[in-house]
Copies of this chain bind each other. A is one copy, B any other.
Amino acid sequence: MANNKQYHVAVVGVTGAVGQKMLGMLEQIDFPVEKLYPLASKRSAGKTVTFKGESVEIIEATPDAFEGVDIALFSAGGSVSKQLAHEAVQRGAVVVDNTSAFRMDPEVPLVVPEVNPEDIQKHKGIIANPNCSTIQMVVALEPIRQKYGLNRVIVSTYQSVSGAGNDAVEELKDQSQALLNGEDPETNILPVKSEPNHYPIAFNALPQIDVFEDNHYTFEEMKMINETKKIMHDSELKVAATCVRLPFFYSHAESIYIEIDGDDISIEDLQNTLKDQPGVVLEDDINNQVYPTPLSAEGKTDVFVGRIRKDLDVANGFHFWVVSDNLLKGAAWNSVQIAQQLIQQPGGLK
Contact = CB atoms under 8 A, between A and B. Distances in A.
Contacts of A309: 215-217
Interface in A235-287: 238-240, 242, 244, 246-249, 253, 255, 257, 267, 286-287
Contact of A205 (B200, B238, B246, B288): B246
A240 B203 contact: no
Interface of A: 152, 154, 156, 158, 172-173, 176-177, 180, 191, 195-197, 199-200, 203-208, 212, 215-217, 225, 238-240, 242, 244, 246-249, 253, 255, 257, 267, 286-289, 291, 293-296, 306-314, 317, 319, 321
A255 B294 contact: no
B291 A208 contact: yes
A289 B203 contact: no
Contact of A204 (B172, B293, B313, B319): B293
| Dominant secondary structure of chain A at its interface with chain B | mixed
Contact of A291 (B177, B207, B267, B307): B207
Nearest to A242: B255
B173 A180 contact: yes
Given A180-B173, A207-B306, A242-B319, A289 B196 contact: yes
Contacts of A204: 248, 293-295
Nearest to A306: B207
Given A204-B248, A240-B319, A255-B244, A225 B289 contact: no
Contact of A158 (B158, B216, B239, B267): B158
B207 A242 contact: no
A156 B255 contact: yes
Contacts of A288: 197
A240 B319 CA distance: 9
A295 B156 CA distance: 20
Nearest to A177: B180
Contacts of A206: 293
A204 B156 CA distance: 16
A321 B242 contact: yes
Contacts of A312: 215, 217, 225, 239-240
A286 B247 CA distance: 22
Give the interface centre of A191, A291, A313 by most chain B CB atoms within 10 Å.
Answer: A313
